[in-house]
Structure 1
């Protein structure tokens, strides 16, 4: 294997505490793991992450292929976040982590006592990353979102399909995986910035907002003609 083809390990020594589930957050942390970071996934003691049973696996009782695709190269621990001891364990792990990421429903992580203010006080160098459906200040900021909702609200579906017919969801999961990729870029950038500032920071990527990165080419039609982007 050539040096270029070998695992890059650019993030060797970086420890990531992953409280995300399903696809958007796990996509981010899998990218970080592929780049050499140590990713520790925190899961529910009762069955683990829901993605483990989302579809079939290689054999009965095995994790679903869906889970495997988005969680390779990670370690896992189970912690009961509804107990004070469980929250204390996560706080202890956060003290030793470089990155913390979650994609729970809006307000949930704060109710658990694991919000930005609490963890930043424990570890000022921590990069605190959040994936949400809609951005802060949005009229929908308290709403949940999955891939199809993000693609619909972000404009992907409006420009996909045949003219004069209903919008169509694009094949790739741009709402989930596309958001996760942008979060991974944000995390790596924040880690680089930390070398200068010595401080961590809070990051948030909204699934709806992230879709603008994938639909921006369609806006050229509006710039030229002031007409709406065409479905094609």
Structure 2
């Protein structure tokens, strides 16, 4: 589909059989009737609103008529197509286009906010206020609205006017300082904790605010800073600091709290980049260590005081790691996981994204679902991982730019088809 057509907000033919899901799925309806006005872009905000859409809310994404969410052109998959990145964070939403540099466009946002339950934005610092759509302005048109914001740095922070992305939040929020090998430099984890991790915390907070409003009728302002959110994910590291009196150290594949070998990633055959298995023995269950010794053929060490406690094993950690590695190198990671798991030992093969996407069990259970996108074709993506009454909610394709402009303005504001044509002619949508 030509880019220009989608930019003008024209609707494209859609098939009614878009989601292709092997597992039984069902609309949760948890948030049925909840209207969310979504002025977010890239990942932190969209991951929040996507979660709410999966739970049944009507999420209307407001986008610039000329290009839309910048995420649409990130990691582009092909000419005239939205990026896979965009598809992953905007499923189950509707898209409308409004020119926010137009007074009429701003007025329409206010009209939509009057009908909304939740307003979510993650613009650069000060941008939403300069548009005249800050909390005080929106609260005037809808005192009961829940107004949710994602910022890089919190209000009152010396850096509150700074821009931030996922990796900036991970650096300034402590994540990188505790990631990597003990004698190596800080490392950025592969997971986008700064973005999606922040979005999930905001989604939970929106749900709490909605529940509170049911009883009080009161709206409220929610603000989460990406830097602040990162502290939530390294609470164990603060416990380690309290114990040692020193900043938490990097521990590689070990635990930040330490003191409980064996615990780590062990090599498997044939020796590829992800041919490893993670093995853990809990300090709360000494039987894990005894079972592991039996599996690797070292029953002779059961009861040996040099290996019997976690503290004692710390003194012999290199020898223990080599014993286990000698066993794992003789097996592939899936075999190692099966044997260890069957013996009651916590273990997990290091699976890459290709293995996960092609694992039929995920698709059978609806954790991976295939959508049929009108421009990008079939695309398998992770769905909402929570099962509601035994089934996951279905995934619908991310919307084309402006695909639902006419529908939403008609349903929410009562505008006629002629009204919508006039707005398009005037460059408002």
The question of a shared fold, defined as TM-score above 0.5 by the shorter chain, is answered with yes
* Aligned match of 1:24: 44
* Aligned match of 1:133: 152
Q: What is the DSSP-based 3-state SS (H/G/I as helix, E as strand, rest coil) of the residue aligned with 1:179?
A: helix
Bigger mean CA offset, 102-111 vs 23-32? 102-111
* Aligned match of 1:115: 134
- Distance between the aligned counterparts of 1:56 and 1:135, measured in 2? 32
Q: Does 1:178 align with 2:197?
A: yes
1:10 to 30, 33, 48: 30
Unaligned segments of structure 2, at least 5 residues: 1-20, 252-429
1:155 to 171, 174, 180: 174
2:161 to 142, 164, 186: 142
2:61 to 41, 61, 73: 41
Instruction: With the length of structure 2 as denominator, give the TM-score of the two structures.
Output: 0.52
- Distance between the aligned counterparts of 1:106 and 1:159, measured in 2? 28
Unaligned segments of structure 1, at least 5 residues: none
Instruction: With the length of structure 1 as denominator, give the TM-score of the two structures.
Output: 0.96
- Distance between the aligned counterparts of 2:79 and 2:126, measured in 1? 36
Q: Is the 8 A contact 1:17 1:94 kept in 2?
A: yes
Cα deviation, residue 5, structure 1? 5.3
- Distance between the aligned counterparts of 1:228 and 1:160, measured in 2? 13
* Aligned match of 1:211: 230
How many residues in Structure 1 have an aligned counterpart in Structure 2?
Answer: 229
User: What are the superposed Cα offsets for residues 213-232 of structure 1, whole Å, 9 maximum, x if unpaired?
Assistant: 11111111111111110102
* Aligned match of 2:215: 196
User: What are the superposed Cα offsets for residues 18-53 of structure 1, whole Å, 9 maximum, x if unpaired?
Assistant: 000000000000000000000000001111111001
User: What are the superposed Cα offsets for residues 112-155 of structure 1, whole Å, 9 maximum, x if unpaired?
Assistant: 11011111111011000000000010000111100000000000
Report which of the two structures shows the higher radius of gyration computed on alpha carbons: 2
* Aligned match of 1:104: 123
* Aligned match of 2:103: 84
* Aligned match of 2:92: 73
Q: Does 1:93 align with 2:112?
A: yes
Cα deviation, residue 8, structure 1? 1.7
User: What are the superposed Cα offsets for residues 28-86 of structure 1, whole Å, 9 maximum, x if unpaired?
Assistant: 000000000000000011111110010122x4211100000000000001111011111
| Larger RCO: 1 or 2 (CA < 8 Å, sep 6+) | 2
- Distance between the aligned counterparts of 1:203 and 1:72, measured in 2? 23
Q: What is the DSSP-based 3-state SS (H/G/I as helix, E as strand, rest coil) of the residue aligned with 2:181?
A: coil
Cα deviation, residue 9, structure 1? 1.7
2:241 to 214, 217, 222: 222
RMSD: 1.2
Q: Does 1:166 align with 2:185?
A: yes
- Distance between the aligned counterparts of 2:121 and 2:83, measured in 1? 21
Q: Is the 8 A contact 1:9 1:34 kept in 2?
A: no
Aligned structure 1 segments of 4 or more residues deviating by more than 2 angstroms = 4-7
Give the 3 Å change call, closer, same or farther, for CA 61–5 of structure 1 in structure 2: closer
